[in-house]
């Protein structure tokens, strides 16, 4: 039988190891930017949209980029951004490199930055947009490209990445909306983005783990997963369609707070706390708002019904990723529960670690806003 000292040591060691891993990991990063290509009679505009954190990555290789929230610093690096975009984003018209006018960099509402590149259109029958900015961005970063006319009619969509970094447009058949990309179809690409988002979303995964670790039977597990799925699907849809929306400075700390709360509740109430389904549903609504930021922050699919397929694909990807994690974790938890000491000793260890990690992320996100 373990002595109180041995139990305390195990509790502290498990908590320290877990928190070290949590602190070294970057809580979820969808890694998504946009490029809107507008084809007119005499010009082709390329409007790039980035989150501030991605612009910081573009400007440094050390991981300690400039604080773009500082207006004076932002003004000081404007020319650096303009030069970088003109150098690393190329438009080929019938294999001839087009030279852009002076790029324009501006801050968009919220914490996003836009870079406009304007090219003179020739009599070329084909155009190809190539971005080398992926070399400066985090691994796994994606860029959602939309091609449209000046009237707003959609000509096509594509998802680019470091491996597939170009999109081609058949200018001779522009009326028939012929757009192709060296990349995935947008629905499949958003599905994969949803899978990647949940698999790299350490905060969402930790929340789900904290919910499942105290479940004692299949019914409680299915209830938790179903409530979380329904809740985040509701707010993901409503937020993406602009029916409901909260700023990230509120949503992100709330997500971290939900993790800390569930871990603390596990410590206080033990196995299968009452009303866990209601807690799961309530906090699932908050997590859905976090998922929606990956789609709507840059105005993706702002045209009529343009958000529907990205929304469906992304949400389905989140569910696939979530169920994949559950399929791996649940058999392990069931096996561990055969040991009577697991619920008595390791569930509290895990719950302390979850509470500490959630509290750390909450404070970090509040201070960053």
The domains of the chain are located at 4-28+201-368, 33-185
pLDDT digits (tens, 9 = 90+) for 206-221: 888 888 888 777 788 8
Mean pLDDT of 151-166: 82
Question: What pLDDT is attached to residue 305?
Answer: 43
Contact 38, 149 (CB under 8 A): yes
Question: What pLDDT is attached to residue 224?
Answer: 86
Model pTM above 0.85: no
Task: Dig out the tokens for 107 from the structure.
Answer: 């801050």
Mean pLDDT of 83-89: 92
For residue 180, the surrounding DSSP H or E stretch is strand 179-181
% of the chain surpassing 70 pLDDT: 77
Question: What pLDDT is attached to residue 20?
Answer: 42
Task: Dig out the tokens for 73 from the structure.
Answer: 């610093």
Contact 148, 157 (CB under 8 A): no
Query: 211 Cβ partners below 8 Å, 6+ apart?
Result: 224, 228, 262, 276, 280
Distance (Å, whole) CA 106 – CA 81: 10
Question: What pLDDT is attached to residue 117?
Answer: 95
How far is the CA of 173 from the CAs of 93, 149, 170, 178, 254, in angstroms?
Answer: 14, 13, 6, 6, 49
Higher pLDDT, 273 or 187: 187
């Amino acid at each position: 039988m373990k002595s109180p000292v041995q139990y305390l040591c195990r509790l502290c060691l498990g908590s320290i190891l877990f928190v070290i891993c949590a602190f070294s990991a970057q809580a979820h990063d969808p890694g998504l930017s946009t490029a809107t290509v507008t084809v007119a009679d005499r010009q082709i505009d390329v409007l790039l949209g980035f989150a501030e954190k991605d612009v910081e990555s573009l400007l440094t290789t050390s991981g300690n980029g400039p604080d773009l929230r500082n207006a004076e610093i932002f003004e000081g690096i404007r020319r650096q951004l303009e030069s970088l975009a003109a150098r690393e984003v190329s438009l080929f018209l019938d294999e001839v490199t087009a030279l852009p006018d002076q790029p324009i960099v501006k801050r968009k509402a919220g914490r996003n930055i836009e870079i406009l590149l304007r090219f003179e259109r020739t009599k070329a029958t084909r155009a190809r947009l190539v971005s080398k900015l992926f070399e400066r961005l985090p691994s796994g970063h994606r860029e959602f490209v939309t091609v449209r006319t000046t009237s707003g009619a959609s000509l096509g969509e594509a998802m680019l990445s470091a491996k597939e970094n170009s999109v081609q447009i058949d200018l001779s058949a522009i009326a028939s909306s012929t757009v192709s990309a060296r990349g995935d179809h947008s629905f499949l690409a958003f599905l994969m983005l949803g899978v990647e988002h949940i698999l790299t979303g350490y905060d969402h995964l930790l929340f789900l783990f904290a919910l499942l670790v105290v479940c004692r039977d299949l019914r409680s597990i299915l209830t938790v997963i179903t409530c979380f799925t329904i809740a985040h699907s509701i707010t993901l849809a409503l937020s993406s369609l602009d029916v409901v929306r909260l700023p990230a400075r509120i949503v992100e700390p709330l997500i971290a707070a939900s993790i800390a709360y569930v871990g603390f509740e596990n410590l206080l109430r033990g196995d299968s706390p009452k009303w866990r389904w209601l807690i799961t549903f309530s906090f699932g609504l908050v997590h859905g708002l976090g998922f929606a930021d990956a789609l709507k922050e840059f105005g993706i699919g702002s045209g009529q019904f343009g958000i529907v397929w990205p929304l469906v694909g992304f949400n389905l990807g989140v569910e696939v990723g979530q169920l994949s994690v559950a399929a791996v974790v649940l058999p392990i938890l069931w096996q561990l529960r055969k040991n009577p000491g697991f619920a008595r000793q390791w569930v509290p260890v895990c719950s302390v670690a979850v509470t500490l990690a959630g509290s750390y992320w909450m404070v970090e996100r509040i201070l960053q806003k």
